[in-house]
Homo-oligomer: A and B are copies of this chain.
Amino acid sequence: MRDLILEKIKEYYLELLPFNKILGIDIDLLDYKTGEAITTFDMKNDLVGNSTIGILHGGVTASVIDLTGGLSALISCAKFHEKESLEVIAKKLTSSATIDMRVDYLRPGKGKSFVCKSRIIRAGSRIVVSKIDLFNEKEIRIATGTATYLIG
């Protein structure tokens, strides 16, 4: 059941959300036990926000931080309802949403590929708070963020 839920979350994110396709997001890890999530994406011209130096658009950074932190929130939501039917869980998941987010842009978004890691720092029945970091392929941290989610 747990694997099925994680598979559903993955499918939903990767197949059904058009903007995630634009970003070219892939999911490397969804840890049911801890709520950790890891996403990856490659640099491409569409994601550039400063043509002079070819770095990530700040909006791309914010988007990936929001969506990776959201994966942790969805895992947390699924765990809170794990005794319910898959149908009920699916409904809870799709009614979850970001409440607010802070993004800190620490360094210019240079890189060929990027890894975004999220972990849960508050796991309530209604509120989940994720801490998220974005790194490039040289393991340099480009940005960090904190996001608060309301779960269904």
Q: Which residues A49-68 have CB closer than 8 A to chain B?
A: 49-52, 57-60, 62-64, 66-67
**Residue-by-residue, is A12-41 near B (CB-CB < 8 Å gives 1, otherwise 0)?**
000011111011000000000000000000
Is the beta-carbon distance between B121 and A106 smaller than 8 angstroms? yes
Q: Which residues of B contact A101 (CB under 8 A)?
A: 58, 62, 102-103, 105
Is the beta-carbon distance between A48 and B102 smaller than 8 angstroms? no
Which B residue sits closest to A104, measured CB to CB?
B100
Of the candidates B45, B62, B64, the one whose C-beta lies within 8 Å of that of A66 is B62
| A-B residue pairs, 8 tightest by C-beta | A59-B63, A19-B57, A62-B62, A16-B51, A102-B102, A100-B104, A58-B66, A18-B48
Q: How far is the CA of A108 from the CA of B48 in the complex (A)?
A: 27
A47 near B: Cβ within 8 Å? yes
Residues of A within 8 A of B (CB): 16-20, 22-23, 45-52, 57-60, 62-64, 66-67, 70, 94, 97-108, 121-122, 126-127, 129, 131, 141, 144, 146, 148, 150
Is the beta-carbon distance between A99 and B94 smaller than 8 angstroms? no
